[in-house]
Chains A and B, each alone.
Chain A
Amino acid sequence: MSITAETAKAHAHDPAVLCCRAEAGITIEAANLEDPAIFDDLVDSGLLNLDGALTIEEVLGAKLTKTCDSLCPLTADVVEGAKAPSKPAAPEAAEEEAAPAAAPVAAAAPAAGGVLKIHIGEGKDIDLEIPVGALGGGGAAAAEVPAGAAAAVAAAPAAEQEAKLIRSLTRKHFNITEVKRGPETKIDGTTLYIREGIEKECIDSQKLVYDLKIDIITPADYHTYSETIMDVQPIAAKEGEDELGSGVTRVLDGVVMMVTGTDANGVQIGEFGSSEGFLDENIMWGRPGAPEKGEIFIKTQVTVKEGTNMERPGPLAAHSASDIITQEIRECLKKLDESLVTDTETFDQYRRPGKKKVVIVKEIMGQGAMHDNLILPVEPVGILGGKPNVDLGNVPVAVSPLEVLDGCIHALTCIGPASKEMSRHYWREPLVLEALHDEEIDLCGVIFVGSPQINAEKFYVSKRVGQICEMLDVDGAFVTTEGFGNNHIDFASHHEQIGMRGIPVVGMSFCAVQGALVVGNKYMTHMVDNNKSESGIENEVLACNTLCPEDAVRAVQMLKNAMGGEDVKAAEKKWNPNVKTSNVEAIESVTGKGLNLVENEQSLPMSQKRKEKYD
């Protein structure tokens, strides 16, 4: 297919190939040329040989001296009057300097793990790019990038303006070392007692809930069978009259709530396939959304009315019934004596006038049933007061970064165990933390936007996201999503809506091999892949491929580069984990700070299934 003058300009340095038969004597125009985007496949399959081909900028306006067939590369012997190539662009110069180092680096780490996805599944005119640091030996080239970006920020006319403290959130930690059943729910020192018989109230509270069992899982019991884990939640409560997102929050350390369940016929709630099994083989410990090794789980196993496992009221009823227990613990937590506080943490939200203003857009699921989230409950990760984003029409909802960290999302999300963001993920959201603490940027807030089922609705909400970003006058935006599926359609649309307003966007998602993007557009130039699994797939290990601190650091650096106008290296054709490795190295060499990469499923006791199937 022929290309437009605009495309020709964008691909000025790419090889020139005829799109269709052309007679000798014609003057070569953009319309005679094929889109370079398709060359990789043709070269791979041996249909095209680009050796000696002139570039598009060289041949435009030149005369064809010989009649050629379609897909014929234009070389010097068939073209008359080719222009001299323009001087290479600055980034390319940097690339060349770095080139000698590139080969050895790539060769040195052929089997390195880690993942930055830049594979494009299907689609046309997709320009995925990776930061300059991405090229194999990008250390040298990338080294200048953040420095340049920082300089641009510093040089802004706004000069030095004082950061303004907007609000603070204090977390008081209470330690729990033992969980027991007892006549009343109470916390005695570091022992949490859960009232015997509380199950009945949980069951009676929801018409759809037929049964509820509580299991207390200590580290010694990790190797036990469990139904699919629907959610992992912190146990936290607001102090006094404080509202979510500010004031004081009390939280129990060493213990988490875990929701599991089936319908009355034993079918998993909102779940597909086989992620049930032994807990210790199915949990990626220490991910923001997952339990830490050593924590005690208060695990509810809820039975809902048969057939409601896939309907909206079912999963919500299971969560609501479990929350009766959490709420009773919250009431005790509120009354605990201050002397039991083991640690106090304060999060300050600053606005930093004069710095680049950025916003985080987090896409959450809103297709229905278990693809739902309760937004802004009264208590951290509570039920009461929270509005399901499906009922809100999935429209964007603005929250403060501190509201996110204070549990403003109660997630019902159920599928894609490895990539789903559970309630605890938001409580420890790494991107929000990284952006909040970065003094070089001005984080103005977080926008949650649901992912509706129908495409028309996806574009409806996406346009609202674009409009909000326009009104916010941000200099840059992050767009994140969890998992993969039709949510990548709105993910791409958010990039377009924000990008078309001239705002640089960095996207974050699990992609790798299995979650390759289904669509793309020209604004999707900066992507960070959340994949951690060795083979780039949904490996059924809870929270393995979710957003981690290392991804947040990469995304923040990438957005700074984008806002500083630095070019980002184009994406490789196929997913290549080494891209992430070299980016991480580049960031380490610039910031001088080591970045500890998290472990992946290879660190878990190897279940037979994984050994045979995946690795």
Chain B
Amino acid sequence: MTDLKYGDKIIRMEGVIVEVHDGSVAIDLKGRLGYLKVPMRMFISDYPIKVGQEVAWNMSFVEQLGPEINEKYVSNLDTYTRRQKEMREKNQNNKEV
């Protein structure tokens, strides 16, 4: 694996819980710096999880590993989005009937 150039540049990020599901939590990074959705088990909690609670974690910057495009991921993504679109349309039609 390519080594990160700035991997040790650890910064404290804060965020606000904006969605709580049975299996995942979604977080808006404060300062409109992004959005993060993680499975429950990757989220450490001391209290019942509620929308509006503040969270924090250490992270670094996201770095490109290289200029290459991984065709496999592209093809998976294409398939996935195409199916989502088809299913969404089908689901919509079902409701109208």
Contact B47–A367 (Cβ < 8 Å): no
Contact A609–B70 (Cβ < 8 Å): yes
The CA of A281 and the CA of B70, in the complex, are separated in Å by: 14
Residues in B with CB closer than 8 Å to A451 are 41
Interface string of B53-92 (1 = CB under 8 A from A): 0000000000001101011110011011001111110110
Known contacts: A456-B46, A486-B43, A608-B70. The answer to whether A303 contacts B76 by CB under 8 A is no
Is residue B21 contacting chain A, with contact meaning CB distance below 8 A? yes
Contact A266–B40 (Cβ < 8 Å): no
With both beta carbons as reference points, the residue of chain A lying nearest to B83 in the complex is identified as A266
Is residue A117 contacting chain B, with contact meaning CB distance below 8 A? no
Contact A368–B39 (Cβ < 8 Å): no
The smallest beta-carbon distance between B83 and chain A, in angstroms, is: 5
Residues in A with CB closer than 8 Å to B85 are 266
Is residue B96 contacting chain A, with contact meaning CB distance below 8 A? no
Contact A367–B44 (Cβ < 8 Å): no
Known contacts: A266-B87, A608-B71. The answer to whether A311 contacts B41 by CB under 8 A is no
Within 8 A of B (CB), among A249-268: 262, 264-267
Which of B1, B21, B71 sits near A535, CB closer than 8 Å?
B1
Is residue A176 contacting chain B, with contact meaning CB distance below 8 A? no
Is residue A454 contacting chain B, with contact meaning CB distance below 8 A? yes
Contact A485–B41 (Cβ < 8 Å): yes
The smallest beta-carbon distance between A362 and chain B, in angstroms, is: 16
Residues in A with CB closer than 8 Å to B40 are 367-369, 371, 453, 486
Contact B79–A455 (Cβ < 8 Å): no
Contact B79–A225 (Cβ < 8 Å): yes
Among A36-44, A74-82, A269-277, A333-341, the stretch that binds chain B is A269-277
Interface of chain A, helix or strand or loop or mixed?
loop
With both beta carbons as reference points, the residue of chain B lying nearest to A270 in the complex is identified as B23
Residues in A with CB closer than 8 Å to B68 are 612
The CA of A486 and the CA of B83, in the complex, are separated in Å by: 33
Contact A274–B77 (Cβ < 8 Å): yes
With both beta carbons as reference points, the residue of chain A lying nearest to B38 in the complex is identified as A272
The CA of A454 and the CA of B85, in the complex, are separated in Å by: 36
Contact A262–B72 (Cβ < 8 Å): no
Is residue A246 contacting chain B, with contact meaning CB distance below 8 A? no
Within 8 A of B (CB), among A452-482: 453-456
The smallest beta-carbon distance between B47 and chain A, in angstroms, is: 7
- Most B-side CB within 10 Å, residue of A315, A453, A456, A607: A453
Interface string of A573-605 (1 = CB under 8 A from B): 000000000000000000000000000000000
Contact A264–B76 (Cβ < 8 Å): no
Is residue A321 contacting chain B, with contact meaning CB distance below 8 A? no
- Most A-side CB within 10 Å, residue of B40, B44, B88: B40
Contact B41–A612 (Cβ < 8 Å): no
- Most A-side CB within 10 Å, residue of B48, B80, B85, B88: B80
The CA of A609 and the CA of B77, in the complex, are separated in Å by: 13
Residues in B with CB closer than 8 Å to A306 are 91
The smallest beta-carbon distance between B76 and chain A, in angstroms, is: 5
The CA of A180 and the CA of B63, in the complex, are separated in Å by: 49
- Tally of chain A residues near chain B (CB < 8 A): 47
Contact B87–A264 (Cβ < 8 Å): yes
The CA of A380 and the CA of B40, in the complex, are separated in Å by: 28
Contact B39–A371 (Cβ < 8 Å): yes
Residues in A with CB closer than 8 Å to B65 are 612-613
With both beta carbons as reference points, the residue of chain A lying nearest to B24 in the complex is identified as A310
Contact B71–A310 (Cβ < 8 Å): no
Residues in B with CB closer than 8 Å to A535 are 1
Is residue A365 contacting chain B, with contact meaning CB distance below 8 A? yes
The smallest beta-carbon distance between B92 and chain A, in angstroms, is: 9
Contact A415–B39 (Cβ < 8 Å): yes
Contact B23–A369 (Cβ < 8 Å): yes
Contact A487–B41 (Cβ < 8 Å): yes
Is residue B49 contacting chain A, with contact meaning CB distance below 8 A? yes
The CA of A90 and the CA of B13, in the complex, are separated in Å by: 49
Known contacts: A486-B43, A612-B68. The answer to whether A370 contacts B73 by CB under 8 A is no
Which of B70, B79, B80 sits near A613, CB closer than 8 Å?
B70
With both beta carbons as reference points, the residue of chain A lying nearest to B43 in the complex is identified as A486
Which of B44, B73, B86, B88 sits near A486, CB closer than 8 Å?
B44
Contact A262–B83 (Cβ < 8 Å): yes
* Interface positions of A (Cβ within 8 A of B): 210, 225, 262, 264-267, 270, 272, 274, 276-277, 281, 303, 306, 310-312, 315, 365, 367-371, 414-415, 451, 453-456, 483, 485-487, 489, 518, 535, 537, 607-609, 612-615
Q: Which 4 A-B pairs have the closest CB atoms?
A: A369-B23, A266-B84, A485-B41, A369-B22
* Interface positions of B (Cβ within 8 A of A): 1, 21-24, 37-49, 65-66, 68, 70-73, 76-77, 79-80, 83-88, 90-91, 94
CB pairs A–B below 8 angstroms (13 shown):
A225-B79, A264-B88, A272-B38, A272-B39, A276-B76, A310-B21, A310-B23, A315-B23, A368-B23, A369-B24, A371-B39, A487-B41, A609-B70
Further contacts, 19 of them, CB under 8 A, given A454-B47, A612-B68: A225-B79, A262-B83, A264-B87, A266-B88, A272-B38, A310-B22, A311-B23, A367-B23, A367-B40, A367-B41, A368-B40, A369-B23, A371-B23, A453-B41, A453-B45, A456-B46, A486-B40, A609-B70, A609-B73
